[in-house]
Structure 1
Amino acid sequence: MIVALMFCLFTALLALGIPIAFAMGLSAVTVLVIDGGVPLLVLPQRFFSSLDSFPLLAIPLYIFAGNLMNYGGITSAIVGFSRSLVGHIRGGLGQVNIMTSVLFSGISGSASADVAAVGGMMIPAMKKEGYRPEWAVVITAASAILGPIIPPSLLMVIYGAMTGLSIGTLFLAGIIPGLFLAFIMMIVVYWKANEIGAPRHTRASFGATVRVFLKAAPALVMPVIIVGGIQSGLFTPTEAGIVAVVYGLCFGLLTHRLDFKKTYRFAYQSVVTSASILIILGSAALFSWIIARQGVPAAMAAWLSSVTNEPAIILLLIVLALILVGMFVETISALILVVPILTPIAQMFGFDMIHFSIVVIVALLLGSLTPPVALIVLMGCKIAQVDYMKTMRPLIPFFTVLVIGLLCIMYVPMITLGLPELLGAFD
């Protein structure tokens, strides 16, 4: 009864336009006051204990480092390098768009940041070359989900902080799934090139490729330093954030694009973004504590067991629910909301927690592409000034192959676990 009332209040507050962090917090506080069985002193204790985590310090650091690197002109350098690598393949700038998202994910770690930065450059360029605007939007939005899958990833930092899983191992586990999803999206672009309106470019010379690689090298090196440093034991994920910030500052100073005023502005933006994430985390801690206290995870596990004893079917049911949540709730908020509920269930059914975490993240990201809402597509439409409904038809082939890709990740665990095992992350 308490949980049902809390979800009703939560839904009502969201419908009124209340931000999700406050909707979760207010609904949790309200039901605790009505219940009267818990001292209100528990509220601040639960809120702040959820934030008392050293790995969470990495969030503002990664955001700050990404802002510093992006402002240094690195996005245009990555686009140039991607063009030299894949621009001559059938699909032209569509292929470049996807490759750019692969490389840019090592800086942003965020799907929305990918849409804003890559879409801001690629969508106008694609329209200028004769691409249909709705296809340019869909390619940008679909490839943007690679940002939180290929490390470093804010979603993985949050997931690791909430569950105690190794963030470094999560980073490694996301590499092959991210590259796999990029590959199958490039196949779609190759297949639909004529319908997209994609002209082909001439193959770049070796010398030109080397020159643009040298311009993009600072961006390509940063994720290698972060993941390599964590896996070698040189520093923790949080310390890796500090290294990334120092690296970004050095890059900005060496390119003469950074001064004190700009650095302060980026730091301020990073603090504001991080604060909003932490408020969501604290509110979600209250929300999920009430859910756990009422025995909801155990009840859900019992219900799933009554439906079927097949782990494969149970995983499919969980993924369908995650896609539904991802349709309506921003990905970070959705992750914070579902992880405390799903983690005990995954443990009860014996899922590998690293593999399960990647499945959860990919499923939520796929939800953000799922019609009729498709939150990431909406962002691309604003950049391209395209009617949202025109993107529905082009979205179908991308959504289809991404669903197939997610099924492969779900039921072929070595796609996720192969690289961590190869590099000894489980030792």
Structure 2
Amino acid sequence: MTLVLLMFAAFAVLLLIGVPIAFAMGLSAVMALAVEGTVPLLVLPQRFYSSLDAFSLLAIPLYIFAGEIMNVGGVTAAIVRFARSLVGHIRGGLGQVNILTSIIFAGISGSAAADCAAVGSMMLPAMKREGYKPEWSVVITTASSILGPIIPPSILMVLYGAMTGLSIGTLFLAGIVPGLFMAFVMMVLVYLKADTIGAPRQSRAPLSEVASSLGAAAPALLMPVLIVGGILSGVFTPTEAGIVAVAYGLLYGIVARRLTLRGTYEFALSTALSTASILIILGGAALFSWIIARAGVPAAIATWLSEVTSNGAVVLALIVLLLLVIGMFIETISALILVVPVLTPIAGNFGFDPIHFSVVTVIAVLIGALTPPVAVLLLLTCKIGGVEYSRTMRPLVPFLLVLFAGLVAIMYVPALTLALPRLFGYGG
């Protein structure tokens, strides 16, 4: 346990002096083992490599690349137009459109940051032109962006499956209903807060506009159907689905005449950099987590929790509070990579369904990423919208409350997560 405390101390110091989290985790693990002196340091590169030697991780760059290609073809504008024709007349107007756009865009990007950037760049100027309060527009965009990693295809679910051995296809299925449920509670809040937000009344779009916008948005709507449908039907694996998504994106870009060789190269380079960043974090966290597991920390925590309470509901609440705090300070992917190897055996000890627990974990970390003081996603959207971070604190509170209420419902009503996987044969 002393070794673990030393490693955490080194980790905290490295973070405070500005070392990137991937290197902070890896270097603190190296320092701890060097001080202990009982394990050859040659073990570390072996552990680093073995953590990345998973075929399923190949899906990450494929989904990122497919999302980049799809977005260049003007698909975001088409999604916004379609969403506006469907829900723009509902009380809350463009706030409702913003959330529905994030639902549809989630089927393309799988990333909260990508959702913030793409949807925010389209919706924030439009909402400003129509008189919406900028701070509310930023908060709505940020809160709805968490749907990206919940509704499939999800980069976080791919990572979770790679780290735990759970079926990525089942994880994708498990995220659909919770993602739609979280979107619903946000849409209810926007409906109730329409006057506060500054939402003007909108007229209902004619059926001709709905049909026209549906035709333009059809490629975006078909992509998640193609991916999830192909996985569920057994035609291809989640990783192979990534290849299909890239091929589909390339075809769409060519047909839309928006894809160039230079643009494709830039997307490939951006994808490579993003993937390298994720994999370095994963490797550093693997070293960090291996030392934690080697020291028996998960078992010790499980024992402590058993002594504190035997009530599984209370244990789950304590774990979620921990995840929320971690998500507040550590970027989402890094946080997930850090906690999953530690929490998975604890969840198993208390008999939590692994698929249900995975969805709860992902959503809790994402809500943490919306929560000050760091709130990485909110900072990104504030930059896009040109709004001071401090101005978003008041409108952020009701969104955090409804999202947390939604998370509690998902925590204690497992059917919200498991009904769809069970419909397709999951036996958990």
- Uncovered stretches (5+) of structure 1, i.e. residues with no partner: none
How many correspondences in the alignment?
427
- CA distance in 2: counterparts of 1:208 and 1:381, whole angstroms: 32
| Moved beyond 6 Å, runs of 4+ | none
Aligned to 1:115: 116
- CA distance in 1: counterparts of 2:136 and 2:389, whole angstroms: 11
The 3-state SS of whatever aligns with 1:216 is helix
The 3-state SS of whatever aligns with 1:50 is helix
- CA distance in 2: counterparts of 1:376 and 1:256, whole angstroms: 32
After superposition, where does 1:160-239 map in structure 2 within 5 Å?
160-239=161-240
Aligned to 1:245: 246
Aligned to 1:401: 402
The 3-state SS of whatever aligns with 2:92 is coil
The 3-state SS of whatever aligns with 1:22 is helix
1:148 matches 2:122: no
* Cα contact 1:87–1:96 (8 A) shared by 2: yes
Aligned to 2:270: 269
1:364 matches 2:361: no
- CA distance in 2: counterparts of 1:217 and 1:17, whole angstroms: 44
- CA distance in 2: counterparts of 1:378 and 1:256, whole angstroms: 34
- CA distance in 2: counterparts of 1:383 and 1:60, whole angstroms: 25
Counterpart residue type for residue 362 of structure 1:
I
Aligned to 2:126: 125
Displacement of 1:371: 2.4
The 3-state SS of whatever aligns with 1:366 is helix
Displacement of 1:93: 0.4
Aligned to 1:157: 158
- CA distance in 2: counterparts of 1:43 and 1:36, whole angstroms: 13
Alpha-carbon RMSD:
0.8
Aligned to 1:88: 89
Counterpart residue type for residue 260 of structure 1:
L
Counterpart residue type for residue 415 of structure 1:
L
- CA distance in 2: counterparts of 1:171 and 1:293, whole angstroms: 31
After superposition, where does 1:32-51 map in structure 2 within 5 Å?
32-51=33-52
Counterpart residue type for residue 205 of structure 2:
A
In the superposition, the TM-score normalised over structure 1's length comes to 0.99
Counterpart residue type for residue 242 of structure 1:
I
* Cα contact 1:75–1:117 (8 A) shared by 2: yes
1:291 matches 2:315: no
- Uncovered stretches (5+) of structure 2, i.e. residues with no partner: none
* Cα contact 1:143–1:182 (8 A) shared by 2: yes
- CA distance in 2: counterparts of 1:287 and 1:184, whole angstroms: 37
Counterpart residue type for residue 200 of structure 1:
R
* Cα contact 1:229–1:240 (8 A) shared by 2: yes
- CA distance in 2: counterparts of 1:140 and 1:293, whole angstroms: 42
After superposition, where does 1:262-341 map in structure 2 within 5 Å?
262-341=263-342
The 3-state SS of whatever aligns with 1:89 is coil
In the superposition, the TM-score normalised over structure 2's length comes to 0.99
- CA distance in 2: counterparts of 1:330 and 1:123, whole angstroms: 24
Aligned to 1:15: 16
- CA distance in 1: counterparts of 2:426 and 2:212, whole angstroms: 35
Aligned to 2:411: 410
Q: Percent identity?
A: 68
- CA distance in 2: counterparts of 1:51 and 1:396, whole angstroms: 38
The 3-state SS of whatever aligns with 1:40 is coil
Counterpart residue type for residue 99 of structure 2:
I
Task: Between 389-398 and 170-179, report the one with greater CA deviation.
Answer: 389-398
- CA distance in 1: counterparts of 2:373 and 2:269, whole angstroms: 35
Displacement of 1:424: 2.0
Displacement of 1:390: 1.1
The 3-state SS of whatever aligns with 1:147 is coil
Displacement of 1:191: 0.4
Deviation string for 1:353-403 (max 9, x for gaps)? 000000000000000111232221111111111111111110111111101
Counterpart residue type for residue 155 of structure 1:
L
1:29 matches 2:14: no
- CA distance in 1: counterparts of 2:211 and 2:277, whole angstroms: 41
- CA distance in 2: counterparts of 1:61 and 1:11, whole angstroms: 33
* Cα contact 1:231–1:425 (8 A) shared by 2: no
- CA distance in 2: counterparts of 1:123 and 1:103, whole angstroms: 17
* Cα contact 1:60–1:271 (8 A) shared by 2: yes
- CA distance in 2: counterparts of 1:371 and 1:18, whole angstroms: 21
Deviation string for 1:67-111 (max 9, x for gaps)? 000111100000000000000000000000000000000011011
Counterpart residue type for residue 271 of structure 1:
A
